[in-house]
Structure 1
Amino acid sequence: MVLESRPEGGTLEIGFSAEDVARTRFAVSPLWEVVASVRVLRDTGPGVHRPWAERVRPALAAAKLDLTPLSCLIGPPPAGVPGFLVAPPTTPQPSLDVELAALRSMPHELIRTTTPAAREGVAALRADPERGLGRLADVIAAYWEVAMAPYWPRILTVVEGDILYRAKRLAEGGARRLFDDLDPRLTWDSGTLQVMHRCVRGERRLDGRGLLLVPSVFAGPRIFSDVDSPDWQPTLRYPPRGTATLWEGRAQPLSDALAGVLGRGRALLLAELAAPASTTDLARRTGLSAGGVSQHLTAMRAAGLVSAHRTGRVVLYARTSVGESLVAG
C-alpha cells in the first residue's frame, strides 16, 4: 500500500459507525515527520519551512550524510510514500526508537510488494530487506540527530497543542465539532467524513477500526491518507494549527502594567502562552533559564493563571480564562 498525497480533486467518503467514532484517536509520529521533512527539504522553495531548510541543509552537508536509502523511497509530489515506511503509530506518542524498531521488523513480503521498483536505489532494499531495513533505520537515526532533534521540542509543541485543541472541540460538540475546522478539505455530514482528493474517490467503511488522526507540521498543505490497508488502522495526516508560525521568533508584546503586577518574567511567559508550550520551549523563546520558567509557571498555576496538561513525557502549559483576561486587558 502506498500512502499518497491528496490535493483537492475527487471526493473520498469515509463512513463512521458509533464504534468508529469511539475508536477514533490522535497520535504523534516522529518517523512520519522525518519522512515528510525529507520531501520538504528536497522540494522546498519560498514557504513556511524555508527558515528550517536553510539551517538544516548546511548541517547535513557538514555531516556528509547520504540520504539515498531514504530519499529513493520518497517520490516528488504527487507521488506517494510506501506504507511500510510510515506505519501508523500504535501509541499516542511513540519515540523515534520505538518506530524504528517497528520498521526494522517490517514483514519482508510487504516491502517487496509496496516499494516502487522503478525508483533508483530501491532494488537493494527489495533484494535484501533485512539488510536494507537496517541501513534505512540507521540513516533515519543519523538524519534525526542533525535535522530534527534540535527542533523537536518546537514541533512537538505545535502538534500536541493541536491535539489538545481538538480534544476540547470533541468534548464540546462531538465528531462534528472535531472535524469542523480540522482542514478546509474535510467536511462532516451525517456520520460521513468527506475528504477532497485528487486520485482516490468513492466510499470506504472503517469497519469498527476507527480513524487515526496524526497532525504533521511537514505534511502541509497536503493531507496524506491510508484508508485501504488491511494491516493498520485507517489514518489521516493533516497540517495542525500553528504551522505557519512554527519558525517565527514569536515575540509577543509585553504589557508594562502586567509586568508591574506579576513581575517581568511571569508577564513575559503569560504573553508567550498564546498557544500551549513546554517549559523547554518557553525557556528557549524567552531567554529565561529552564529552572526559572518552571518556578514562574508553578506560581502562576497555583494562582489559576495557567493550566498544565501532560501528554506522554511532555507537560504543556496554557493560559486559563483568567490568564487570557489579564493578557487581553
Structure 2
Amino acid sequence: METGLSFSAADLAQTRFAVSPMWEVVTSFRLLRGTEGEPPPHRRWMAQVRPRLAEAGLDRGWLATLIPERAYLADFLNPTPETPFPTLAAELDAIRHTPAERVRIDLDRLGAERDLSKSPRIRLLREAPEATLRKVAAEIETYWELALAPYWDRIRQLLEADVFHRARQVAEHGAGHVLGELHETVRWDDGTLRLVRRHCALSRSEAGAGLLLVPSAFAWPRVFTRSVPPDPPQLAYPARGIGTLWEPRNAGSVDAVAAVLGRSRALLLAELDTPASTTRLAERFGMSAAGVSQHLTALRGAGLVTTHRTGRSVLYARTAVADALMAPADGVALAR
C-alpha cells in the first residue's frame, strides 16, 4: 500500500528535525518484544537489556500493553517535541498532560487491532486517564534507566550526527533531496512524500502542517509515523551509522590514559565500554568492591562515568568525554 503526504511551500518551510528520547523508548521496546530473532545491529544491546527488563517485570507492564510487537502503537506516547533536542522529562510531562479524549481515541484504535476488552490497564486508562498516565510515565522512567540511560551518550551522538549531516545536505542539495534519501520505502515525488508500507501511513488530510523528521537508533529496518492533527506529522527513520553503534570503543590508548589517571582507572574506563556494576568490575579485575567504588566515584566526579540505578544495583557507564579520551591518537576506533 502506498500513501502520500503532499507539501506546500509552507509545509516545506515548517519541516524540521528533532532527536526524541520517547521515540527511542517506543522503538527499542518494540524491538525487544519481537519474536523474529535479534537484528544484527542490536544483538549486543539486547542481550544485556532483556534480562534486566524481565527481572523488573517490564515485559508485561504498561508499555507491553500500549506497544504491540506489530501494527499501531499508542500515539500519545510520542508527543510532538517542542525543541530539536527535548529531554525525556519534557516529553514525559507532555504524556502526563495528554487530554483524556486523545487517550481514548488511541485506546479505541489499539482495541480495533487487538482484543483489549478484558485488560485492567486499558480500563484504568479509560476511566482515570490523568492518574493512570502518571503510572505510565513512572514505568517509562524505569525502562529508561534499565535500557537506555546507560547507553544514551552513545545513542545521542549517533542521532545528533544524523541530524547535522542531513541539515548540511538540505543546505547543499535542498529538502527534496534529503526527503528522498531517508529510507528505501520513502520517496520524494513532485511535491509529495510517498511511503510504501502496510502499517505506516501519512496523509495531509489527517495531519497538521509541516513535517517532523526524527532519526532513531531502533527504528531499523523500518520507518514509523504519527499523524495527530493539529500537530505536524512525524516520521521516525533509521539513523545513519547504526551498524557501528555497538562496536567496542576501547581503543588502544589505555597506556596513555593510565599515565594521567593511573592504570586502575584507565582499565576501568576501558571496561566500561559496556555498562557494568561495581561487583562485575571487581570480579573482572580482582579488586575489592570498595576499591572499585572509590575509583568510580573519582571518575564520576571528573565527568568520565555516569551512574544508572537498575533495581537494587547500579550500573556505571562511560560518558562521551571518556569515549573521546579512550580513542586512539589517530582517531581510528579499534575493536577488541
Q: How many Å separate the matches in 1 of 2:125 and 2:203?
A: 34
Q: Which residue of 2 aligns with 1:51?
A: 44
Q: Percent identity?
A: 43
Of 97, 105, 108, 2:100 maps to 108
Q: Which residue of 2 aligns with 1:96?
A: 88
Q: Which residue of 2 aligns with 1:41?
A: 32
2:6·2:193 contact (CA, 8 Å) conserved in 1?
Answer: yes
What SS is found at the alignment partner of 2:174?
helix
2:214·2:234 contact (CA, 8 Å) conserved in 1?
Answer: yes
Normalising to structure 1: TM-score of the pair?
Answer: 0.70
Matched, 1:25 2:47: no
How much does 1:23 deviate?
0.9
Q: How many Å separate the matches in 2 of 1:33 and 1:244?
A: 16
Matched, 1:230 2:229: yes
Q: Which residue of 2 aligns with 1:181?
A: 181
Cα distance change, pair 181–70 in 1 and its aligned pair in 2 (3 A): same
How much does 1:94 deviate?
0.9
What SS is found at the alignment partner of 1:93?
coil
Cα distance change, pair 202–32 in 1 and its aligned pair in 2 (3 A): closer
Q: For 1:246, give the aligned amino acid.
A: L
- The 5-angstrom pairing of residues 251-262 of structure 1 reads none
Q: How many Å separate the matches in 1 of 2:72 and 2:38?
A: 23
How much does 1:93 deviate?
0.9
1:223·1:239 contact (CA, 8 Å) conserved in 2?
Answer: yes
Cα distance change, pair 283–176 in 1 and its aligned pair in 2 (3 A): farther
Instruction: Kindly provide the CA deviation profile for residues 68-116 of structure 1, in whole angstroms up to 9, marking residues without a partner as x.
Output: 1121011121x21111121221211111111111111110111112112
Q: How many Å separate the matches in 2 of 1:199 and 1:144?
A: 26
Cα distance change, pair 292–148 in 1 and its aligned pair in 2 (3 A): closer
Normalising to structure 2: TM-score of the pair?
Answer: 0.69
The unaligned stretches of length 5 or more in structure 1 are 1-9, 255-263, 266-280, 295-313
Relative CO higher for 1 or 2, CA cutoff 8 Å, sep ≥ 6? 1
How much does 1:203 deviate?
5.8
Q: For 1:91, give the aligned amino acid.
A: T
The unaligned stretches of length 5 or more in structure 2 are 258-268, 274-298, 305-319
Q: How many Å separate the matches in 1 of 2:143 and 2:88?
A: 12
2:250·2:271 contact (CA, 8 Å) conserved in 1?
Answer: no
How much does 1:66 deviate?
6.6
Q: Which residue of 1 aligns with 2:4?
A: 13
2:19·2:84 contact (CA, 8 Å) conserved in 1?
Answer: yes
- Supply the RMSD in Å over aligned alpha carbons: 3.5
Cα distance change, pair 136–252 in 1 and its aligned pair in 2 (3 A): same
2:200·2:225 contact (CA, 8 Å) conserved in 1?
Answer: no
Q: Which residue of 1 aligns with 2:68?
A: 75
2:2·2:197 contact (CA, 8 Å) conserved in 1?
Answer: yes
Instruction: Kindly provide the CA deviation profile for residues 21-52 of structure 1, in whole angstroms up to 9, marking residues without a partner as x.
Output: 11100001111211221111121523122211
What SS is found at the alignment partner of 2:142?
helix
Q: Which residue of 1 aligns with 2:283?
A: none
Cα distance change, pair 208–39 in 1 and its aligned pair in 2 (3 A): closer
How much does 1:179 deviate?
2.1
Cα distance change, pair 96–283 in 1 and its aligned pair in 2 (3 A): farther
Q: How many Å separate the matches in 2 of 1:53 and 1:216?
A: 16
1:12·1:204 contact (CA, 8 Å) conserved in 2?
Answer: no
Q: How many Å separate the matches in 2 of 1:50 and 1:188?
A: 33
Q: Which residue of 1 aligns with 2:261?
A: none
1:14·1:206 contact (CA, 8 Å) conserved in 2?
Answer: no
Q: How many Å separate the matches in 2 of 1:42 and 1:207?
A: 29
2:215·2:236 contact (CA, 8 Å) conserved in 1?
Answer: yes
Q: Which residue of 2 aligns with 1:137?
A: 137
